[in-house]
Chain A
Amino acid sequence: MPIPRRFTVRSGAPDYVRAADLLLAKIKGKPYESEIPQVEAKQHPIPNLTGNLKDATVALVTEGGLVPKGNPDRLESSRGSRYFKYAIEGREDLRQGEFEAMHTGYDTSTVDKDPDRIVPLDAMRLLEKSKRFKKLHDHYFVTTGTGAMPSKMEEIGAGIAEELIGSGVGAVILTAT
């Protein structure tokens, strides 16, 4: 999908008049056409788990923008253009002050106080110990989804998927805000 640019268009009426006309047409059951182009989501096959979950490595991914405190790789707080992975090996949970959420799409104060509320590491560790699955992948992956271009997110998703498959990960839990 090409990246759209802003441009000025002369229209027949001010925007509030056009908006009111659209709403009136909708309420009266008359035909109307949105000025916002409908983006067709590309259909993709949905993979199912191969084998047993108890033999699988599971990874955590988030679009909630959670990064180590100080945001060392400078993840954007909106319109994420890249993804990063951060080590969670040896960690039993994510602590306040060690991580922070870079994301303008939601009030991050609650997850900043306990980052497990966006990347559920503590819960996953308990389930890993009870052998519900074989292993939690040693990194979590993060990007910032708010205001993002669908095409860029597709690229990011493909990049994350490639790394996960290359590392033998068989299942993902993705948290989205």
Chain B
Amino acid sequence: MVVITCLSNVATQVGVGRILGGSKFHYPVGQPELPPEEELRWRVGLVEKGLAALETPVKEPKIF
């Protein structure tokens, strides 16, 4: 599992293995100030980082 969140300190404390920083806490995978196609491109980029994190073995909480 990878968690996309802006509260990485909480995720670390709880022991989440893979943590990816989100955009803002009230839209972790959004960029509303961008035009829609750019926002989608950005979101694909972030989710791709999440997938790469999923492929990375970890032993303790790691922020990607």
Contact = CB atoms under 8 A, between A and B. Distances in A.
Interface in B1-37: 1-7, 11, 13-15, 17, 22, 25-30, 32
Contacts of A108: 26
Contacts of B47: 120, 123-124, 127, 173
Nearest to A111: B27
Interface residues of B, number: 35
A110 B1 contact: no
B57 to A, nearest CB: 4
Interface in B35-64: 40, 43-44, 46-48, 50-51, 54-55, 57-61
A101 B57 CA distance: 33
B42 to A, nearest CB: 9
Contacts of A118: 27-30
Contact size range, A: 35 or more
A116 B30 contact: yes
Contacts of A35: none
Contact of B44 (A43, A126, A171): A126
A118 B28 CA distance: 6
A107 interface: yes
Nearest to B24: A110
B44 A116 contact: no
A110 B26 contact: yes
Given A41-B14, A44-B15, A123 B29 contact: yes
Interface of B: 1-7, 11, 13-15, 17, 22, 25-30, 32, 40, 43-44, 46-48, 50-51, 54-55, 57-61
11 contacts: A64-B28, A106-B26, A108-B26, A123-B44, A123-B47, A127-B44, A127-B51, A132-B51, A173-B47, A175-B5, A177-B6
